[in-house]
Structure 1
């Protein structure tokens, strides 16, 4: 028995070892190095100077950092519930007797097949304030043309709209899979009891989708915290930092200002915030399951 257990343990370690090695080389080692860099003053050339927590103290008085933090939070608060709600609505429609369901499913999933940069470039075709399709249509109708790149609220709105177009398909796919795995007998029992569609949705469907919703909240919040490519291509963080988020600000500090230590400190703050949110959500979800 002991020999068999040892053989099984060795086989398990052999299967886990490649993944653990890759995680160590490409996740944990770079993460540890980023922590070290965040404690240094660097200019992109030569060895950095050790300054301890000075970069983190500098964050406290950096107005641009707090502007990027506020933008990140607003972006997360707006995009996450909207993308999840639209994804659920699309999944409910596609799970019903909707004509041409494969076509609609393909249209919604299509943005997932391209990168964020490609999605942002497609978004520019619509939202460019000088040559965009949307402004051209508005001008032909005699309506005012929003300044999608030079006006802060409009620029932020364009990023949100393109992000929703990109994220709704993924959320729909997760919800559609979860809906197809729900117990139909519960819905039949509720219908026999005289429950309306809205009551069945609230008291039967939504509770069964709780695991999928928990997963999507975590994934969408993490994505929103880490959004970069769409903002970088659509607005570059402008105008006047109106769409600057933490990752674009870290990129600017690290690659434009050549202050990699300060950029790493911004990244560490973002990492801690992401881990804290995930831990809180995990605790709350397990608390509900325990109840």
Structure 2
């Protein structure tokens, strides 16, 4: 008796009768990576241009065309009058506003997450107003408030304004971290006879530290970089962004590119160091 022979399953037909193009297949496979590289280049290339022109020696006042290589600006970054003074003022305001906004924002975030009280939904909504409101509206409103209160414009009005708009970002960052924390860890510490202060310092604060650090870094960057709100509430005080804007009207000195490049390099180094520390902690655990 003859046994039936096994036949191979029929191959699935291609819709158009042709094999897919290998080039199109490669593009589809790497499309997300290509988009990420383009987005990264879009953000990094302007900083690289600033770094390149920090070594330029223009013939005139405008540092817009490459003339010849020079390191004179790096050797004397304070060669332009009032540049380092405005830079120091911006750093001082950024540090003070970051400290105040971080302390107040952390307490507000814990209160909004851990406690129930009257007006809590309204406060949650009001926290997002400085983030959603156009910056020019906030700047004009603060300027009007200080004028009506007859407050002299200067260092303190800038500091108050920066603390106000940085506070929302700190609350948002810390609040997201606190909401993800496991309360059973704090309960376990209390079961082991830890005092409230010991529980907060050894359990709660280390767990919330990433959110607090993120809010503080964001607050510092926003405060140092702000121009619109500072312009409306500064009076005769000149911060670094205002100095850059004023210099651009007459000719941008190379030292501005030096300061910008130094801050960009410092931010990149801090990012790499933080990532390296995080990777080492993961490897140990």
More helix by share: 1
TM (norm. structure 1) is: 0.75
Sort the Cα spacing of 1:67 and 1:285 in 2 relative to 1 into closer, same or farther, 3 A.
Answer: farther
The answer to whether structure 1 residue 66 and structure 2 residue 71 are counterparts is no
CA contact (8 A) 2:105 2:170 kept: yes
Partner of 1:183: 182
CA contact (8 A) 1:214 1:285 kept: no
Sort the Cα spacing of 1:193 and 1:11 in 2 relative to 1 into closer, same or farther, 3 A.
Answer: same
Sort the Cα spacing of 1:196 and 1:119 in 2 relative to 1 into closer, same or farther, 3 A.
Answer: farther
The answer to whether structure 1 residue 269 and structure 2 residue 255 are counterparts is no
Cα deviation, residue 72, structure 1: 2.4
TM (norm. structure 2) is: 0.77
Cα deviation, residue 118, structure 1: 2.7
Task: Flag structure 2 segments of 5+ consecutive residues without an equivalent.
Answer: 1-22
Q: CA RMSD in A?
A: 3.1
Equivalences for residues 82-97 of structure 1 within 5 A: 82-95=100-113, 96-97=115-116
Distance in 1, matches of 2:179 and 2:157, equals 33
Structure number with larger C-alpha Rg: 2
Sort the Cα spacing of 1:99 and 1:78 in 2 relative to 1 into closer, same or farther, 3 A.
Answer: same
**Partner of 1:52: helix, strand, or coil?**
coil
Cα deviation, residue 159, structure 1: 1.1
**Partner of 1:209: helix, strand, or coil?**
helix
More off after superposition, 32-41 vs 274-283 = 274-283
Sort the Cα spacing of 1:87 and 1:46 in 2 relative to 1 into closer, same or farther, 3 A.
Answer: closer
Task: Flag structure 1 segments of 5+ consecutive residues without an equivalent.
Answer: 1-5, 136-145, 149-154
Cα deviation, residue 44, structure 1: 4.4
CA contact (8 A) 1:37 1:260 kept: no
Distance in 1, matches of 2:250 and 2:264, equals 22
Map Cα deviations across residues 116-150 of structure 1 (whole Å, 9 max, x no partner).
333222211212xxxx2323xxxxxxxxxx422xx
The answer to whether structure 1 residue 21 and structure 2 residue 18 are counterparts is no
Map Cα deviations across residues 175-200 of structure 1 (whole Å, 9 max, x no partner).
11211111111222233344444333
Sort the Cα spacing of 1:224 and 1:274 in 2 relative to 1 into closer, same or farther, 3 A.
Answer: farther
The answer to whether structure 1 residue 133 and structure 2 residue 152 are counterparts is no
